[in-house]
């Protein structure tokens, strides 16, 4: 039985995973050339490019909840490629270039909007750091420019650029090609494209074990709906990567933290771009529905809770009111959290693992939405060929053994 995306969605709504009755047994009844664990944007993009660019269509994406219900549907959708190190510039710029043509590629409006991402400087340290990024980016052919406070105010008129605030704005870095997109459309667009090429997307299907053969290579998975045979598995289960990888006895250098966001009641357009402040720690944009989209910080301790501490959101709102005094009287509509997995060098892990047939794509922490198309594209190459894509090669798991880290901590957009 082949699933269409529509059938899968209908069955999920009806509380059924779409899993055929005859597969519900302990013995594997179906064999796939590859299985992807996790139907977030990264997993679905991987499936799409596997099918489209590598002709691999006998694959399944297994999701314990619903399509895009993890971080993909919970993030603040900021897209940018203004990272410091060459390895990061390469992968995030690869993604931005794919974003630029993604609606056409998927024939689905992902609402990518290059409205500009502005990062604020409040002190000399910020100025040095942001200017260093600007120089590094321009050397790599990535747009980024310095703005004076008056220019920043002209670009975003509701921004408080007077001396009246506790940490006055002394300048800003602007990436004009940065922006936002509609997060659920990205998941649905990739899902529809993958499904149309024959990929099975199975919701409400949690992977509970990874099977290995006598030689230690992967031979399948056990799920809440039964067992499935495969010799190739891609784990793309942000927030829960360590849990899934432990099923194959692989210990990951990851910690999981709740990260929150919130939106205001909808108002008329007043915010034309994305503004981020690392020092005051707040970031804000406006969705096409009119809600102000506000990001808070990570909790200071590890957890799998999809809520997060209230004091973190409160602190963020104080910072937002300082930067944008005119939004003080707005009411907040919704607040939620996601679980992000973070590596010691704040850079992702993409590639092979010590277990034959087992591949992993994780560790995007607080910043993987922007990478979705690029991440899926390079991971599909890695899964199909067994070799890392050149852009993914520096992000191997092995770097935590060799010490060749890519320390983007100082380049994080906000103080996460």
Give the residues lining the site for ligand PYC (CB under 6 A). 76, 78, 80, 283, 295, 366-367, 413-414
Would you say 284 and 274 are in contact if contact means Cβ atoms under 8 Å apart?
yes
Q: Encode burial over 73-92: b for 16+ CB neighbours within 10 A, e otherwise.
A: bbbbbbbbbbbbbebbbbbb
Q: Binding of ligand FAD at residue 78 (CB under 6 A)? A: yes
Q: Binding of ligand FAD at residue 64 (CB under 6 A)? A: yes
Q: Binding of ligand FAD at residue 37 (CB under 6 A)? A: yes
User: Starting at the edge strand that comes first in sequence, how are the strands of the sheet with 171-175 ordered?
Assistant: 145-147, 171-175, 117-121, 274-277, 282-286, 292-298, 255-264, 332-342
Q: List the structure tokens of 24.
A: 């519900």
Would you say 240 and 39 are in contact if contact means Cβ atoms under 8 Å apart?
no
Q: Binding of ligand FAD at residue 266 (CB under 6 A)? A: no
Contacted entry of ligand FAD, ligand PYC, none for residue 41, CB cut-off 5 to 8 Å set by kind: ligand FAD
Q: Binding of ligand FAD at residue 369 (CB under 6 A)? A: yes
* Nearer to ligand PYC (CB atom), residue 35 or residue 413: 413
Tell the smallest beta-carbon distance from residue 314 to ligand FAD (Å): 16
Interface characters, 291-310, with ligand FAD (x: CB under 6 A): ----x---------------
Contacted entry of ligand PYC, ligand FAD, none for residue 414, CB cut-off 5 to 8 Å set by kind: ligand PYC
User: Starting at the edge strand that comes first in sequence, how are the strands of the sheet with 31-32 ordered?
Assistant: 31-32, 226-230, 218-223, 207-212
* Nearer to ligand FAD (CB atom), residue 130 or residue 263: 263
Taking CB under 6 A as the criterion, the residue among 18, 28, 38, 178 binding ligand FAD is: 38
d(CA 13, CA 106): 24
Closest CA to 42 of 178, 195, 273, 235: 235
Q: Around Cβ 188, how many Cβ atoms within 10 Å? A: 20
Contacted entry of ligand FAD, ligand PYC, none for residue 239, CB cut-off 5 to 8 Å set by kind: ligand FAD
Taking CB under 6 A as the criterion, the residue among 116, 368, 373, 388 binding ligand FAD is: 368
* Nearer to ligand FAD (CB atom), residue 149 or residue 312: 312
DSSP of 189-219, one letter per residue?
HHHHHHHHTT-EEE-S--EEEEEE-TTS-EE
Tell the smallest beta-carbon distance from residue 366 to ligand FAD (Å): 5
**Beta strands 200-202 and 171-175, pairing class:** unpaired
Contacted entry of ligand FAD, ligand PYC, none for residue 118, CB cut-off 5 to 8 Å set by kind: none
* Nearer to ligand FAD (CB atom), residue 70 or residue 220: 70
Would you say 45 and 375 are in contact if contact means Cβ atoms under 8 Å apart?
yes
Tell the smallest beta-carbon distance from residue 114 to ligand FAD (Å): 15
Q: Binding of ligand FAD at residue 65 (CB under 6 A)? A: yes
Of the listed pieces 27-35, 71-79, 100-108, 132-140, which binds ligand FAD according to CB under 6 A?
71-79
d(CA 192, CA 6): 8
d(CA 184, CA 178): 19
Contacted entry of ligand PYC, ligand FAD, none for residue 338, CB cut-off 5 to 8 Å set by kind: ligand FAD
Tell the smallest beta-carbon distance from residue 164 to ligand FAD (Å): 28
In the DSSP assignment, the letter for residue 289 is T
Q: List the structure tokens of 357.
A: 């047939």
Judged by the rule CB under 6 A, the positions of this chain that interact with ligand FAD are 37-43, 62-65, 69-72, 74-78, 206-207, 236-240, 244, 259-261, 295, 338, 340, 364, 366-370
């Amino acid at each position: 039985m082949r699933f269409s995306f529509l059938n899968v969605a209908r069955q999920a709504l009806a509380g059924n995973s779409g899993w055929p009755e005859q597969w519900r047994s302990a013995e594997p009844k179906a064999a796939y050339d590859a299985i992807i664990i996790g139907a977030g944007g990264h997993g679905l993009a991987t499936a799409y490019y596997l099918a489209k660019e590598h002709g691999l269509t006998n694959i399944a994406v297994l999701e314990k909840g619903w399509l895009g219900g993890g971080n993909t549907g919970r993030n603040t959708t900021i897209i940018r490629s203004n990272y410091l190190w060459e390895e990061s510039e390469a992968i995030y710029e690869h993604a931005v270039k794919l974003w630029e043509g993604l609606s056409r590629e998927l024939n689905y409006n992902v609402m990518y909007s290059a409205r500009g991402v502005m990062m604020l400087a409040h002190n000399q340290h910020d100025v040095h750091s942001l200017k260093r990024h600007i120089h590094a980016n321009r050397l790599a052919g990535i747009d980024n420019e310095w703005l004076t406070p008056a220019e920043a105010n002209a670009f975003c008129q509701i921004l408080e650029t007077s001396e009246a605030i506790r940490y006055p704005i002394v300048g800003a870095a602007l990436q004009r090609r940065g922006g936002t997109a509609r997060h659920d459309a990205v998941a649905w667009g990739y899902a529809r494209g993958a499904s149309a090429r024959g990929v099975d997307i199975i919701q409400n299907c949690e992977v509970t074990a990874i099977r290995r053969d006598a030689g230690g290579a992967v031979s399948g998975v056990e799920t809440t709906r039964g067992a499935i045979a495969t010799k190739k598995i891609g784990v793309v289960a942000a927030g829960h990567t360590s849990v899934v990888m432990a099923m194959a006895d692989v210990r990951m250098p990851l910690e999981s933290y709740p990260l929150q966001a919130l939106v205001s009641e909808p108002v008329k357009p007043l915010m034309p771009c994305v503004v981020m402040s690392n020092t005051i720690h707040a970031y804000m944009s406006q969705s096409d529905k009119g809600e102000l989209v506000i990001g808070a910080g990570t909790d200071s301790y590890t957890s799998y809770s999809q809520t997060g501490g209230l004091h973190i959101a409160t602190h963020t709102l104080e910072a937002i009111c300082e930067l944008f005094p005119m939004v003080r009287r707005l009411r907040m509509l919704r607040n939620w959290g996601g679980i992000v997995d973070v590596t010691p060098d704040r850079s992702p892990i993409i590639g092979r693992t010590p277990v034959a047939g087992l591949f992993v794509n994780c560790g995007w922490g607080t910043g993987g939405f922007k990478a979705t198309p690029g991440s899926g594209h390079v991971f599909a190459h890695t899964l199909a060929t067994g070799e890392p894509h050149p852009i993914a090669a520096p992000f191997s798991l092995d770097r935590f053994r060799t010490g060749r880290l890519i320390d983007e901590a100082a380049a994080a957009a906000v103080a996460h």
